[in-house]
Chains A and B, each alone.
Chain A
Amino acid sequence: MNLEPFFIVMVVAILFLMLCNLYRVVAGPTVIDRMLGVNVIGIKTTVLIVLIGIIDGRVEMFIDITLAYALLNFITTLAAARFYQRISHPAPSEPEESLVAPSAGPEVEEVDAPAKASDSSRKETP
C-alpha cells in the first residue's frame, strides 16, 4: 500500500492547524498567551519535519534536524518564561542595592546618612 498521499494530507492538515494556532499568537491578550501559541506551533513543527522526511525518503537526515529543533524549542520557551517571571518580580534587586550602596560609598557619607535619616524622620513624625 502506497502511503505517500496519506502523509501529504497529514502535512497539509498540520499546516492548517498551525495557521489556526497563529491566531492565538497574533490576537493573544497577554504576552504569555503568545508564548503558549509559539510553543504549540514549535511542537507541531517537530512532527511536520519528520513527515516531510518520510515523504522525501531520507528520514535519517531529517531526524537530526528534528532532534535539534525539539531541543531549541524547549530551551526558547523555558528562557522566555523565566524572563517574564523575572520581569514581573523586580523585588530581589532592591535589597541588593541597599546592601551594596553604604559599603561602596566613602566613610564620611556613612556617618552623615544616619543623621539625615533621623532628621527626615523627625520632620515627618509631627
Chain B
Amino acid sequence: MITDILVIIAMLSGLLFFVATTVGIIRFPDFYSRVHAAGKGDTLSTTLFLGGAILFIMRDFSGENLLTAGKLLLIVFYIFIASPTATHAIIDAGYEFRVPYWTRSSGKKGTEGDEENEENMDDGFYPDDLKG
C-alpha cells in the first residue's frame, strides 16, 4: 500500500518534469535555452519514472524480479550519464553551426529579428577562431 503511494508520487512528479521540459522546448525563444530545458528536465523525470517502475516491480520479491530491477537500475545509470552527454554534443554542434541567439531587440521584432541576430553575432559573443 505504501509502496503503491510511493510509485504514484514518483511517477506524477516525473510527469510534472516531462511537462516542464515540453513547455520549455515549445515556448523558449532560443535554441540554447531550449537545450537547457531539455537537458535538465528529461534526465530527472526519466530517473523518477524508472525509479517508480523499480519500486513497482520489487513489490513482490523474487529472483527474477531482482534481475529485472537490476537491469532497470542499469538503464537509470546509463541515461543519467548519456542524456547530458548527448545534450552537450547537440549544443556543441549548434554553437559551431552559429545558430543565432536571442536578444532583447530580436524578441521585440518577432520573427523579423533574424537579420539583427546575424549582425549581433560579430559583437564578441563568439570567439575569434569561430568567426572564420
Which A residues form the contact surface with B (CB < 8 A)? 1, 3, 6, 10, 13-14, 17, 20-21, 23-24, 29-33, 35-37, 39-40, 43-44, 46-47, 50-51, 54, 59-60, 63-64, 66-67, 70-71, 73-74, 77-78, 80-82, 84-85, 87-89, 91
Contact = CB atoms under 8 A, between A and B. Distances in A.
Nearest to B8: A6
18 contacts: A1-B1, A13-B18, A21-B25, A30-B94, A46-B79, A47-B14, A50-B50, A54-B53, A54-B57, A59-B68, A63-B75, A64-B71, A70-B78, A73-B86, A74-B85, A80-B93, A81-B89, A82-B93
Most buried by B among A10, A80, A81, A84: A81
Nearest to A71: B78
A33 B34 contact: yes
* Majority-rule SS of B interface residues: helix
Nearest to B98: A88
Contacts of A84: 93, 97
B102 to A, nearest CB: 11
Given A47-B49, A60-B67, A36 B90 contact: yes
B18 to A, nearest CB: 5
Given A1-B4, A32-B93, A78-B85, 7 more contacts: A3-B7, A29-B31, A31-B97, A39-B87, A54-B53, A80-B93, A85-B92
B42 A43 contact: yes
Nearest to A63: B71
Contact of B49 (A50, A81, A82, A85): A50
A46 B18 CA distance: 13
Contact of A67 (B22, B71, B94): B71
The 10 closest A-B pairs by CB, nearest first: A81-B89, A81-B93, A74-B82, A32-B94, A85-B93, A77-B86, A88-B97, A1-B4, A47-B49, A63-B71
A85 B96 CA distance: 6
A6 B12 CA distance: 10
A77 B56 contact: no
B83 interface: yes
Contacts of A47: 14, 45-46, 49-50
Contacts of B96: 85, 88-89
A17 B18 CA distance: 8
